[in-house]
Structure 1
């Protein structure tokens, strides 16, 4: 069995561990959590993470799950990736963690594949997708709101969209751009 260590912004690591305890009716063995607080000393957290890996590691190693690639918890977790028998994954979500717990008896690289599959297969849109409402009381220094998935295509030779362009101008330009998404969501 592989041990699992979650390193994330507080209180996410503990919350994910608590969710696993809820799902399984108790916390399975060898699952740890380190919540990184805004004022945490990264060198102290690295030392704590090393000791937690030694405590949690089992015969087939340890899997470290962290929240956001490039953030402090992930940077701390990345230091553990050089240890033998340790793999680190960023972008933890509950489906990734549950899948990791379910497949802890697998060889470590297979466990990584299963956890990654759980993370991505656990993401679904539920119900009809509704465009967001236009902003109310927008201040002059706030940028225009563009619906998710609608890329802003700047005019040829320009690094940014012209000042004063609206979301509908951007959507119109996007519809005429090569490789843009059409109304059905498929790429041309």
Structure 2
């Protein structure tokens, strides 16, 4: 399974990880977060990000999700894109992250496609009088279920730099 690292403006990375724990009833293994604070030293955060990728990376690699292209968190994440078996996506939202967690056992390029699809399909206009679909279209054939390596008692990889 691919490891997942979320790098975002504080406290978004931690908030997204907490949403995953809520949906899954616990935090799946190999999900790390880096909350980038306004007063951080980017060089220190880059060094920490490299160590987190090494900790999280699995046989099919790692996926790094960041919030906004061109901002400090995405510039930090971009440094990781040069590593083998690491892919970086900007514009993370909850549907993207849910898809990434759900499909992390697939090959890395398939995982990237699934995450991007979840991100775009998760953006919908809600008009008065519309009712939500019976089943969330973002998840499609992926039903949240705890992976076997789930750790319900320990929150991993949380840091605010």
Give me the TM-score of the superposition, normalised by structure 1: 0.68
1:88 is paired with a residue whose SS is: strand
Between Structure 1 and Structure 2, how many residues are aligned? 128
Instruction: Measure the CA separation in 1 of the matches of 2:30 and 2:116.
Output: 20
Structure 1 segments unaligned to the other structure (5+ residues): 129-188
Q: Deviations over 1:85-129 (max 9, x none)?
A: 00000000000000000000000000000000000000101124x
Instruction: Measure the CA separation in 2 of the matches of 1:126 and 1:42.
Output: 38
RMSD of aligned Cα (Å): 0.4
Question: What is aligned with 1:79?
Answer: 79
Instruction: Measure the CA separation in 2 of the matches of 1:55 and 1:17.
Output: 17
Question: What is aligned with 1:51?
Answer: 51
1:14-33 alignment, distance < 5 Å: 14-33=14-33
Q: Deviations over 1:40-92 (max 9, x none)?
A: 00000000000000000000000000000000000000000000000000000
Instruction: Measure the CA separation in 2 of the matches of 1:90 and 1:116.
Output: 10
1:63 is paired with a residue whose SS is: strand
Instruction: Measure the CA separation in 1 of the matches of 2:64 and 2:79.
Output: 11
Instruction: Measure the CA separation in 2 of the matches of 1:24 and 1:64.
Output: 20
Instruction: Measure the CA separation in 2 of the matches of 1:125 and 1:33.
Output: 29
1:65 aligns to 2:65 (yes or no):
yes
Instruction: Measure the CA separation in 2 of the matches of 1:22 and 1:32.
Output: 16
